[in-house]
Amino acid sequence: MMDPMKPTERPFRVLGVQQIALGGRAKQTLRNFWVDMLGLTPKGSFRSEAENVDEDILELGTGPLAVEFDLMEPIDPERRPKVNEPALNHIGLWIDDLHSAVTWLSEQGVRFTPGGIRTGASGHEICFIHPKGDGAKLLGAEGVLVELVQAPQSVIAAHTEQ
């Protein structure tokens, strides 16, 4: 596990926020607020029985710096994962080198959720940092589910130019 007093060089960069995922019992109620009241742009949808999620994908902003908002409801409210609990389900972060990030963070003692690196709803490679450590040696994200998302070259370039 990494000693916080001895910083080491990370082989990756966190570029920015890729997404914010919000859950509710009914995504239409979420749409009423985020689309009808605030004007976010509907972009697509995603449904996964395995992940117990039916979601609408919205966008805030344009181009490679746009942020995705996922409005999620559980397909079966009694089954896990319960994508509506908590209401702020997770945040996604653009990572310039996901594989290096997962390797390095694992070496530092960070706990990941089951499933490893896989393709997410938006077609990018993703993985999740567990919201909780295991109490012994693995570090969690202190109560927040964090999705690491491999940034495409256009996002890397846009964040590098800033």
Q: Please report how many Cα atoms fall inside a 13 Å half-sphere around the Cα of residue 84, on the Cβ side.
A: 15
The secondary structure element, H or E, covering residue 29 is helix 27-31
Q: What is the Cα–Cα distance from 19 to 67, expressed in whole angstroms?
A: 5
Residue of 123, 142, 120, 118 lying closest to 132 (CA atoms): 142
The domain covering 14-160 belongs, at the CATH homologous superfamily level, to 2,3-Dihydroxybiphenyl 1,2-Dioxygenase, domain 1 (3.10.180.10)
The domain locations on the chain are 14-160
Distances (CA, A) of 66 to 14, 17, 123, 125, 144: 15, 9, 16, 18, 22
Tens-of-pLDDT digits for all 162 residues of the chain?
A: 555 555 578 999 999 999 999 999 999 999 999 999 999 999 999 999 999 999 999 999 999 999 999 999 999 999 999 999 999 999 999 999 999 999 999 999 999 999 999 999 889 999 999 999 998 778 999 889 999 999 999 999 998 876
Q: What is the Cα–Cα distance from 49 to 35, expressed in whole angstroms?
A: 25
pLDDT at 159: 87
Q: What is the pTM of this model?
A: 0.87
